[in-house]
Amino acid sequence: MSASELPASPLIQALERILADWQAKAPTVAQSLQPGLTYEQIETQLQTLPFRVPEEVYQFYQWRNGSEDSYNSTHQVEFMPGYRMLSLEEAIAEYAIIRQLLLEDEEVKENETCWFPLFAEGGNYYVIQGDVESKAIAPVFDFFVQVGLELRFNSLTDMMLAIAECFETGAYSIDDYSYLDQDYSGADRIWFKHQPHRVAKAEATLSSAVAILNNQAQHLSYKERGEGYSALAKMRYPEALSLLTQAVEELEPEVKRLLLQLRSASTPSEKADALEAPPSEQGMLYYSLIANIRRIDTIEAVQYLWDLMKRNDSEIRDNVALMLASYGISESVRFVEDVENIKVTDLLFQVIQQSSSWSFNHIKLLGSLGDSRAVDILLTFLRQIPLGSFNSYKQILTELEIPMQISCQSYEWRMLLAVVEMLETLGDFRAVEPLFQITQQQQDPTLRLAAGRALKTLGDSRSREIFTQLLEEGIYTPLHFEQMGLNI
């Protein structure tokens, strides 16, 4: 049976709804999806697997077979932000990688590696569970390389129904660069409707909150405690702040002991011992409590966190400062800033200056708070990047014929795009020449377009030449620029 003869099953109907949005908002990208395969073609390729996939997978690949060019970052239909559909050939190759990663754990058995990937984002996947016999449906899991598996949906159909609804309600929107943006809370509400297991988890979380209120927290695991405290904070329970601060005070000595053990560890094995599960879970609960205190966002809550910083050493102090900054500058924060005579942005800048473990996300956070000091750091970052390296990286991997997913959207690529967009937002004229250098030295069209758009925002007339060049190369069409509101 060909793709055009597929019955209008709920799965196919949901996929067509998703495609309709792409066709309306980014038609050239939508056209990059390859035609579907026949049932026989799919069956032939899947014979190499040591398990059977559900019938939904056959329908999926009869509908379409991924994108024409998996290396072209400007032509990827994303079903979720960052996640593209793998072709069947790619999926089989990626399965081998996932299997190898799992088997690196000596406790994992061969029959526990039946995870077939359908969507990928870097080294992360959405996988479906295979079995010895073919079934109609099977659960879909998140597979994070560093974390493991997490159940998402009971079937591929449920997943596509949730995604289709996200597109149609605006929870997912296609941005000016043909990537997906999302309203996190809106998307989560829609996904929740299609995830029965999360309903059961919500009920369990409420039970944990009740146990805390009944002074029975000692009978809960650290994870259950964290979920219970979070529920109390989100519900704005009147006694939530006192319960959370009490838990912080009880955990603090143990967290400090863990940090001291980490600092004094001189070998990798000693560091590993310091990060054993029980103390690590205590640390996770501790910082979860701090985040939830910040979410309460009263003057009392913010003042407590400020006092917590004053009495603690660098690791705890830095994490509390990040929590304060991560949730924005509210009226409660401004009040305490005036009392303490120091701004949250100053605290964040101190973390970036003094900490050896800050990440680029800290710079993004500083920029999002409107602090001009972020510009200096971003420009320093641009000067340190070996321009042109993204394309050479792809070429080297291709020449070596490494059997793995290769994407222009590497961590460094996304970081550089984020820097360009942030410099545009901050609007500092010192960024003009570094941005222009990107348009001249980078081959990636998305980066050139982003830098050109930033130059236009900053009033640089050379942006018009950059847009014209991209048009002449046939990478973008006038419709792309019209959708982005760029008059060239």
pTM above 0.85? no
Q: What is the 3-state secondary structure (H, E, C) of 238-261?
A: CCHHHHHHHHHHHHHHHHHHHHHH
pLDDT at residue number 325: 92
pLDDT at residue number 14: 96
CB 167 within 8 A of CB 141: no
CATH superfamily of 3-193: SMI1/KNR4-like (3.40.1580.10)
Residue closest to 57 by CA, chosen among 98, 116, 126, 133: 116
Q: Is 333 exposed, middle or buried (0-12, 13-18, 19+ CB in 10 A)?
A: buried
441 residue type, one letter = Q
pLDDT at residue number 399: 37
Residue 348 CB contacts under 8 Å (≥ 6 apart), including other chains: 321, 322, 325, 362, 365, 366, 369, 371
As given in the structure block, the two tokens for residue 257 are: 């002991």
pLDDT at residue number 4: 54
Instruction: Classify 327 as helix, strand or coil.
Output: coil
Walk along the chain (488 residues) and give the pLDDT tens digit of each residue.
545 567 789 999 999 999 999 999 888 888 889 999 999 999 999 998 989 999 999 999 999 998 875 545 455 789 998 898 999 999 998 888 888 777 766 666 766 778 899 998 877 899 998 888 888 989 999 887 555 788 899 999 999 999 999 999 999 998 877 888 899 889 988 998 898 887 777 788 889 999 899 989 888 999 899 999 998 998 888 899 999 999 999 999 888 887 777 777 667 666 666 555 445 788 889 999 999 999 999 999 999 999 999 998 888 898 899 999 999 999 999 999 999 999 999 999 988 888 765 566 788 888 888 888 888 888 887 776 654 444 433 333 333 333 333 244 455 676 788 788 889 888 889 999 999 998 888 888 888 888 999 999 999 999 989 998 988 888 777 776 776 677 66
Q: Is 150 exposed, middle or buried (0-12, 13-18, 19+ CB in 10 A)?
A: exposed
pLDDT at residue number 384: 66
Exposure string for 252-286, b = 16+ CB within 10 A, e = fewer: beebeebbebbeeeeeeeeeeebeeeebeebbebb
Q: For residues 11 and 155, give the distance between their C-alpha atoms in angstroms, rounded to a whole number.
A: 10
As given in the structure block, the two tokens for residue 195 are: 């995830």
Residues of the chain with CATH 3.40.1580.10: 3-193
Count CB atoms within 10 A of the CB of residue 148: 11
78 residue type, one letter = E
pLDDT at residue number 162: 96
Exposure string for 346-382, b = 16+ CB within 10 A, e = fewer: ebbbebbeebeebeeebbbbbbebebebbbebbbeeb
Q: Is 179 exposed, middle or buried (0-12, 13-18, 19+ CB in 10 A)?
A: buried
pLDDT at residue number 417: 80
Residue closest to 411 by CA, chosen among 354, 357, 359, 376: 359
64 residue type, one letter = R
Residue closest to 244 by CA, chosen among 265, 266, 217: 217
- Tell me how long the chain is: 488
418 residue type, one letter = A
As given in the structure block, the two tokens for residue 404 are: 């793995």
